[in-house]
Amino acid sequence: MNQQEKKTICINKYKLTYSETGKGKPILFLHGGRVRANTFKRYIKILSKNYKVFAPDIPGYGDSETPKDAWSFIEYGEFFAHFLHKLHLTQVIVIGYSMGGGIAFNVAAQSSDVSELILIDSAGISLPHTKYSHQDMRRLWFYLSHPQYTSSLMIIIRDYLQFIIKHRVTINRIQHIRRACAHTSYNQILRHIRIPTTLIWGEDDWIYPLTIANEFKKHMPHAVLKTVTGNHDWLIYNPLQYKDLML
């Protein structure tokens, strides 16, 4: 069994914590907001059977430092482009989920070391604002209605509480970052990405619904769109679906 090796590196004066597991062609996996890379350990284990997976805690989350400025996905993309360069990684497959997807396509736009892009239920396209409280109540109802996924709910709650504790005195800073990510237009960036791109979407995603996937497709007509059964959290509670979508 591949063991995740936790490492720390300094990029542009910020401490970044990441795991490294598996062997083969490199993958950079970027997780979603309010959680950490280890939330997706089941998915990372699947990938590591055929690839060498680098799974960082995105700055502001997990054990990585929080940016002092209000980064958008563009600044996050620059940060991880430096990460790939510093680790001498080339021909990298970049996979981004939710918030990590918004970062992922900006890494692809800024680094020639990226050979393939996979966006999973990705942020990066503007949509009407929905209160986090409404999203969280809908998420809670889903898990109460699907008790077979209770363990995934416990993971999400645990990581969310860690996120709250981490930002107990810096909540304004992370809120500024989240607003900058959400309110910046990335349409021109998407149009200039020419590497092979796959969009993978949960059919019942209410946070970034399929209409968002179709908007990505308009800006990236060369991209391939695939759908899976599930909502926004499917990669957490049912990552085995990805076996049918292996690279």
> 144 Cβ partners below 8 Å, 6+ apart?
none
The pLDDT value given to residue 133: 73
pTM for the full predicted model: 0.95
The pLDDT value given to residue 1: 40
Q: Could you give the residue ranges of the DSSP H alpha helices within the chain?
A: 41-47, 73-86, 99-110, 132-145, 150-166, 171-183, 187-191, 210-219, 234-237
DSSP label at residue 169: T
Query: Which pLDDT tens digit goes with each residue over 56-68?
Result: 999 999 999 999 9
Q: CB atoms < 10 A from the CB of 222, how many? A: 10
The pLDDT value given to residue 242: 76
Query: Which pLDDT tens digit goes with each residue over 117-143?
Result: 999 999 999 765 556 678 889 999 999
As a whole number, the mean pLDDT across the chain is 93
Q: What whole-number percentage of the chain has pLDDT above 70? A: 94
Residue 95 to residues 23, 46, 87, 111, 162: CA-CA distances in angstroms?
Answer: 17, 13, 17, 14, 24
Rounded CA gap, 67 and 52, in Å?
27
Query: Which pLDDT tens digit goes with each residue over 177-200?
Result: 999 999 999 999 999 999 999 999
| Topology adopted by domain 5-245 | Rossmann fold (3.40.50)
